[in-house]
Structure 1
Amino acid sequence: MNGNSPAAGGAVRAVLRSVDPEPVAVALPLGPGRPPVTVLHRTADGRWSRGPRPLTDLERRALAWDASCARARSVARAVERHLAGHAGPSDVRVDGDRVRVALRVDGAECWTRWRAYFHITAVGEGSRPHTLVGDGERDGVRVTVVAHGAAPRRRGRRPFRVGDATYDLAAPLRDAHGDVWYFQGCRRPDGMPLLSLDGRPERCSLANVAAHLGPLSPVCDTRRAGDRTSPPEPAG
């Protein structure tokens, strides 16, 4: 053992008593074959110890955050595998310690199954038409689900007047060429309804559709809205 070690250790301790109580790495000449560095940390009674330094509160929170993010990534991978058999488009993203899922929902029964899968307890309307946003959890990880098509469509008439004609926005509208237009809740800043053709993303104002493709007639049987050649129901 190096004969200078006791003196060196005493000098180091004397210096450390005068500094703030923070962990310090100190090089001590302990001789051949021995570790060249010893880490000392301040104990609760003000002494210095070579034992393992306890984690600070910031370090504990950082480790907990890393573990939460790792769990979120694991849950996201499991959800992606589950959605592989889902017919509609979907998207899964990790946002820190939580997972965000966007998917297409067809009907109330389908939405009920997804609510059970994600243990959704809180549901609100989304910013897009016919969209619901649910908050739940999966395997201990918070999950936000954006369900397109889950919001029930409003029942009853939704009249809107353009010129001398009044149109019911609650029903699809068939133009003079047989194409069917849908109002999905979007409007211009002046309130004019915007229609989409057969659910396409492109939209056109009701006024322009009526002016250039009219006359427009309501499609009462939405199950046959996409059928351009369906004959009328036989009487009696």
Structure 2
Amino acid sequence: MTITPDNRTDVEQELAEQLGQLAQRFVARLKAEGRLVETGGAQALKRLQEQDEAQRSLREAAEGAFDIIDHLPSPKPPTPTLPPHTFQAHTPHAPADVPQPTNLPQPAGVPTAEQIPTISPAAAHSASTPDHSAADHAQARSATTAARLRAENAGRLEVMQIAPDHERITIHIRALSLSDWEYWLAAIGAPLDAPTHRAEGAQIAAGQIDGIDVHLTAHEVPRLLDEATKAAEEPFHLAGRIYDLARGQIDRHGQTWLHLGQRQTDNMPLLTLCGTSGPLYPLTSIVMANGPLTASPTQTPPTTPPDTNNTH
């Protein structure tokens, strides 16, 4: 059944009007969006669609390339040639409005700030610098002792210099007689049997005062020893001293020891106590036990030697 305008019912008429209005609104929307194609514009629309598809393909290709680049491993920076534990990071101060990068990769072989151990001041001091307190204390003691020696011997004419030398003391004298030399041997605590040495017109000896090493240089002493050797009737040289065996040797107790011509196999003189027929003792033993010895002002009278088998 065909519906014509003449035989439309009211319902049909109303539907036709609504459809017309809907069609008008649709056409108006297409015009507003620029999507309405006039006669002959089909080809232009097709070209626009092809251009849009081409641009979309280019964008998709570019995005795919960017994804590939993002997944490629980034090259590592070269390892610095600084020796280990000497790297010091330097961060320039950027303006406040510039965002600071975070989570930057660290160069291989360079410790991060979290990996560098923190050293306390006490540990750093003990690891880098040795403790000099003992050496400083020893030098202070040597300086104090040297000052005391200078004060105690300020009136002695032979003194040239008394000075601390790091942890020891050095003394220089110009001896006027052998008594000056023997005074300083006793003052520095030089062992009575310790050898002394000659060096460039001076006699050298070593001793200790209050546990501090002392080095004594006595000028003119070699000359004085040579003169004493020539003047002695029977000289014997022991530990920087000349003993005239032709004279009695008086010990620190006032006892006189006599040499009656006997000696040990090593040429050490043997002495006996004056007024006795007692045993013989080596000169070194008497010096160490009862020294120092001083020569008697008179020559020893001849005496019958005791039994040489009775020696100590």
Q: TM-score, normalised by structure 1?
A: 0.40
Higher relative contact order structure (alpha carbons within 8 Å, sequence separation ≥ 6): 1
Question: Could you say which structure has the higher strand fraction?
Answer: 1
Q: TM-score, normalised by structure 2?
A: 0.31
Question: Could you say which structure has the higher helix fraction?
Answer: 2
Larger Rg: 2
